[in-house]
A and B are shown apart, each in its own frame.
Chain A
């Protein structure tokens, strides 16, 4: 009973925070204004690029995750951790890194020119998809690997002793797993790409790459037409929900049952070492080269970092930790299928409209400027919630099913169940989800524009301020600091979650 109350209040808080602000904007604007002819084209492009981005990310994630799950090599742990890095980069930094590799004067074109090949043009729909895959392939891969590791090893031993062929192994273990994870991963990536704006515009190369979020930006910032912004935001929300419903309908409920938590070496990787090595090497090049260039560009700027930037870094770390705590508690309370669907709304909602709505709601009660950091922490927790749930929910549900009899036999109370069974068994996904949240909360700008406080800037905001004042080198240094801190937090949480996993060999 108490548990249902917790879930219910978490759901109500989530609904209030997503629909409340849109409602506030609608009331302020006195209704929705009609859409413009260009909005339909923007909608088509938005859905199409989000669909392609999610599809490619998910399709590529399967061979990569499989290679990472069945092979053991030096640096695998580090690589798994580094896979979190693209996802957590601030957009502007990642775009600069990608252009340094794939741009007109990027590494690839330099190599092409040296070989006498024609110039490769990144700008266009393929560029948008490439950038979104850069951000989201690692996420999808980590979700798959996470799930692969959650298959009890006894299942693989059984498969080995039955002498299953590779094909049979795929059909009995891997395919159900893919079915269980991919639709959800697809939905979450699709929804996050729906709200893409700066990436789509910069790599799309021009007005053909106009997204709904850009139209919202224009309505909110330039035309001061909150009614139109709210109408577009609602449209985006509906799209996100549809994607969520479809994904949940496609993913089956059953898990793989309970194991004894022992680790056995995978026997099925042996004959596929070369293939897996190629897959992993290609992914490493694609993902780490742009990151490497961000690092290389940032190093000279590190010496230019001054007090403001260091203070901003401190604020960002505090915000990130607060967001993580809030998000994990929230996610645990909501770790059901319906909860996950609700949470998808959080990222489908336009940050601009969310910010404006929160501003309108909070203003009668508090001074918005004093709320800059708490609001940022809250919104970041909200935005990270779908990712945290995507990681936590399938495992939490399996634990609930698998240990139901134990729970009933022992008559465990809600708290004892959470403390003795749920949390220890969720340790690995909790660490990963916590790392994702912390890193996302370091990087996100979201709603800060209306709540900015001169003395409490966050690090991403500081990067923009430096760029706006011609301090490109210092900005690159600050971006590197951001990358290091985001990654550091991600690594700490993720590692914390995996300590248990590594000590259980034997």
Chain B
């Protein structure tokens, strides 16, 4: 009798748990640490949804493509524009139904599948105590003395590195390879990801690091340190946006829609600036935290559409490779 009672209890327990709908969200790994935005998103959304939001951190698109239509994910958050083409092609994602009127992006956004929740721009970040005057334009950076030490990320393994390659491509076009060749003697090294580069910069191994226009906000707000600045170039800065999307195969489509609408709602948007150290995608600057309002931001924003980016990508990476290998 006993095993049976136990089994019955198990069945009852699982059906009781099943009454609370579960929303499975795939997110980048850094999301779920206690320093990332994950815990706050979970808390805010669970307060309004009567559901259980479960983050599954790790690779986003590779995992979904491997899983196909049988994926467990209902929603994925934290995609970048460099993968939206592949993601769209797969047919695994569904339109988001969210209202995009609230978006406050510096570029027009009409995508009905991928919904932005925060953005930033590529920029070279420096320490004012170590570098007296930062170059005032990309041209000036290329012409700067070879004692200026930069650390950047590899466009073949990092999203910010790819954005840099596209940035140089957008400014210099056919001259991109020559631009890279001028930059080459100043580049201390190329790292696999952003973390390694930023670590080298904070350790003093480089004067400037490829990062984001929003990086100084972290130092201002979390550390009260105003010595980190992003060098702003009049040629423009490459736009980097983070996106979420709904899976077509979700078994809780209403809940997924509710979550996507939540990501552009006020509670989420006013949290994400300091939660993910990026600019909210749907919030008037007056609502930004003070540290964000004092950031130096570019007037010109460069951005390739999905098709243009797909078309330019290989050439941009090749210019990087051959320019730096000279």
| Chain A residues engaging chain B, CB cutoff 8 angstroms | 28, 38, 92, 95-96, 99-100, 103-106, 123, 197-198, 201-208, 210, 214-215, 217-218, 220-222, 224, 226, 306-308, 356, 359-360, 363, 367, 369, 448-454, 457, 461-462, 464-472, 474-475
Contacts and interface: CB of A to CB of B under 8 A. Distances in A.
Contact of A104 (B72, B149, B202): B149
B203 to A, nearest CB: 7
B205 A104 contact: yes
A474 B33 CA distance: 12
A472 B63 CA distance: 28
B325 A214 contact: no
A197 B192 contact: yes
B132 interface: no
Interface string B142-155: 00000001000010
A449 B189 contact: no
A222 B157 contact: yes
A454 B29 CA distance: 8
**The 4 nearest A-B residue pairs measured at CB:** A468-B30, A452-B58, A469-B35, A467-B195
Contacts of A454: 32, 38, 54-57
A274 B283 CA distance: 71
A449 B26 CA distance: 12
Given A201-B190, A467-B196, 13 more contacts: A28-B66, A205-B189, A206-B325, A221-B157, A222-B156, A222-B162, A224-B62, A360-B66, A450-B58, A464-B29, A468-B194, A470-B222, A470-B277
Interface in B164-199: 184, 187-192, 194-196, 198-199
Contact of A220 (B35, B62, B154, B205): B62
A92 B187 CA distance: 19
Contacts of A221: 59, 62, 157
A452 B62 CA distance: 13
Contacts of B67: 363
Given A465-B35, A465-B36, A205 B188 contact: yes
A105 B204 contact: yes
Nearest to B158: A222
B59 A450 contact: yes
Given A28-B66, A104-B205, A221-B59, A202 B29 contact: no
17 contacts: A95-B196, A103-B205, A197-B192, A198-B192, A202-B189, A205-B188, A206-B325, A207-B190, A208-B324, A215-B156, A222-B157, A224-B62, A224-B86, A356-B62, A450-B59, A452-B57, A470-B215
Interface string B66-78: 1100101000000
A402 B145 CA distance: 68
A284 B320 CA distance: 39
Contacts of B72: 367, 369
B65 interface: yes
Contacts of A474: 35
Given A449-B58, A454-B55, A465-B33, A96 B66 contact: no
Nearest to B153: A201
Given A217-B157, A218-B157, A469-B33, A450 B199 contact: no
A256 B131 CA distance: 63
B218 interface: yes
Contacts of A359: 63, 66
B58 A464 contact: no
B154 A208 contact: no
Contacts of B38: 454
A450 B62 contact: yes
Interface residues on B, range: 35 or more
A224 B189 CA distance: 26
Interface of B: 29-30, 32-36, 38, 54-59, 61-63, 65-67, 70, 72, 82, 86, 149, 154, 156-157, 162, 184, 187-192, 194-196, 198-200, 202-206, 215, 218, 222, 277, 320-321, 324-325
Contacts of B54: 454
A452 B56 contact: yes
Contacts of A201: 154, 157, 190-192
Contacts of B190: 201-202, 205-207
A197 B156 CA distance: 12
Most chain B beta carbons < 10 A, residue from A103, A214, A360: A103
B218 to A, nearest CB: 5
Given A198-B192, A214-B154, A363-B67, A471 B325 contact: no
Contacts of B156: 210, 214-215, 217-218, 222
A121 to B, nearest CB: 9
A448 B59 CA distance: 10
Contacts of A99: 200, 203, 205
Contacts of B56: 369, 452-454
A99 B199 CA distance: 11
A467 B189 CA distance: 18
A203 B187 CA distance: 12
Contact of B325 (A95, A208, A475): A208
Contacts of A363: 66-67, 70
A467 B202 CA distance: 11
B291 to A, nearest CB: 13
B39 to A, nearest CB: 10
A100 B202 CA distance: 12
A342 B61 CA distance: 33
Nearest to A357: B66
Contacts of B202: 472
Contacts of B199: 92, 96, 467, 472, 475
A449 B200 contact: no
A308 B33 contact: yes
A215 B205 CA distance: 27
A308 B34 CA distance: 7
Given A207-B190, A470-B277, A464 B205 contact: no
A466 B66 contact: no
Contact of A92 (B70, B196, B218): B196
A123 to B, nearest CB: 5
B321 A466 contact: no
Contacts of A467: 195-196, 198-199
Contacts of A367: 72
A388 to B, nearest CB: 28
B168 to A, nearest CB: 14
Contacts of B59: 221, 449-450
Most chain A beta carbons < 10 A, residue from B58, B72, B149: B58
A316 B107 CA distance: 44
A224 B192 contact: no
Nearest to B195: A467
A299 B38 CA distance: 28
B220 to A, nearest CB: 12
A465 B192 contact: no
Nearest to A222: B156
A214 B35 CA distance: 29
A222 B82 CA distance: 9
A483 to B, nearest CB: 16
A471 B35 CA distance: 8
Most chain A beta carbons < 10 A, residue from B30, B70, B277, B324: B30
B23 to A, nearest CB: 14
A465 B29 contact: yes
